[in-house]
Amino acid sequence: MIEKYSVRTDLALEEKERFESDNVEIAGVILEEEYDEEKEIRITRVKIETENGAKTMKKPVGVYLTLEVPNMAVPDEDYHREISEELARHIRTLMRGKQIDETDFSALVVGLGNRQVTPDALGPYVVDNLNVTRHIVKEYGKYAMGMEHARMVSAIVPGVMGQTGMETLEIVKGIVDETKPDFVIAVDALAARNSKRLNRTIQAADTGIHPGSGVGNNRCGLTEETLGIPVISIGVPTVVDAVTIVNDTMENLIHAMESSETLKGVGEVLRSYNSAEKYELVKELISPHLNGMFVTPKDEDEMVKQMSYTISEALNMLFANPQCTGKCTGEEK
């Protein structure tokens, strides 16, 4: 049954949790966790080392870093700066893993998504807040930026196929072939399995990205294999599958039944189903009316803007300050 159990999520952490809930160990997959009590940030590192692990997890071999920040929704600029600093530090770790020269590089940032659809506008909004420098450095040299370590940063918002009639890969590959950056950073909105992670989680990975995969629109991936250079992806879950919400409600219902003398027997029967069986049951019950429906929080417009600024600040720190490994202020230490 577990092979048929397909929860729509882009987060490697949730894929790993799915197997752990069924007491299934995955060979070739390593999970490491750390918690910063002062910042209230939980950092999870999922490393897929083997092809067998990749097949089981349905994700490419590589490193997936997840920052869980329950207070992400709080509009506190100082706190979001701390999140940006932490994200910049972890992106730098991924760059080192890909052997990217930290002192002399050029980067292309790709803002994936549809600007006209709020939950999908994260990538374009990040590009809006990004300090692009390639045109200045090419024309006047790096010292024209007023700092010794300014990098060549370019950015593009390729739109979606419905707007352009082209695969995102076709657009980005053409730009990469022409401008020859050292690596690509792709930013996109993701889908989550747990509604508590919406707008409170950031995933960064060194494996690239497949635009639209979380909502079932599988497009050609932006990866090192397709572009010929390393691709680091950054994403925030902004939507959750309707099936997931109904499934979570069912869990609460089962718990309530078990507390009732009248319905206790029914609750025990449903509790005997494993996670995969309950999920498949829910899919059958709500089909076809809610299948394919995705839900987003009511304040998503404000959250996307806030998260995009947090991510763009992390990238601006990363490009401007090569020595940023802990707290960054945007100035050279």
The domains of the chain are located at 2-241+305-320
What pLDDT is stored for residue 3 in this prediction?
42
Instruction: Indicate the pairing of strand 201-205 with strand 231-241.
Output: antiparallel
What pLDDT is stored for residue 230 in this prediction?
96
Condensed to tens digits (0 to 9), the pLDDT of residues 113-167 reads 999 999 999 999 999 999 998 998 888 877 766 666 668 999 999 998 888 999 9
Residue 207 has pLDDT above 90, yes or no: yes
**Region of residue 303 (left: phi > 0; alpha: psi -120 to 50; beta: else):** alpha
Instruction: Count how many Cα atoms sit within 13 Å of the Cα of residue 23 in the half-sphere of its side chain.
Output: 1
Work out the percent of the chain whose per-residue pLDDT is above 70: 77
Nearest to 158 by CA among 199, 188, 200, 198: 188
Residue 217 has pLDDT above 60, yes or no: no
Residues 6 or more apart in contact with residue 205 via CB below 8 angstroms:
12, 62, 63, 64, 65, 94, 232, 233
Interior/surface letters 108-118, b for 16+ CB within 10 angstroms, e for the rest: bbbbbbbbeeb
Q: Which CATH superfamily is domain 2-241+305-320 in?
A: HybD-like (3.40.50.1450)
- Amino acid letter, residue 227: L
How many C-beta atoms lie closer than 10 Å to residue 168's C-beta?
26
Cis before 237? omega within 30 = no
Output the average pLDDT for the chain: 82
For the entire predicted model, the pTM comes to 0.81
Residue 23 has pLDDT above 60, yes or no: no
Condensed to tens digits (0 to 9), the pLDDT of residues 245-278 reads 777 777 777 777 777 777 777 666 666 666 666 6
What pLDDT is stored for residue 144 in this prediction?
67
What pLDDT is stored for residue 57 in this prediction?
82
Q: What is the mean pLDDT of residues 226-231?
A: 96
More confident call, 333 vs 321: 321
What pLDDT is stored for residue 228 in this prediction?
95
What pLDDT is stored for residue 5 in this prediction?
43
Q: How confident is the model at residue 285 (pLDDT cuts 50, 70, 90)?
A: low
User: d(Cα 325, Cα 321) in Å, to the nearest integer?
Assistant: 9
Q: What is the mean pLDDT of residues 215-224?
A: 73
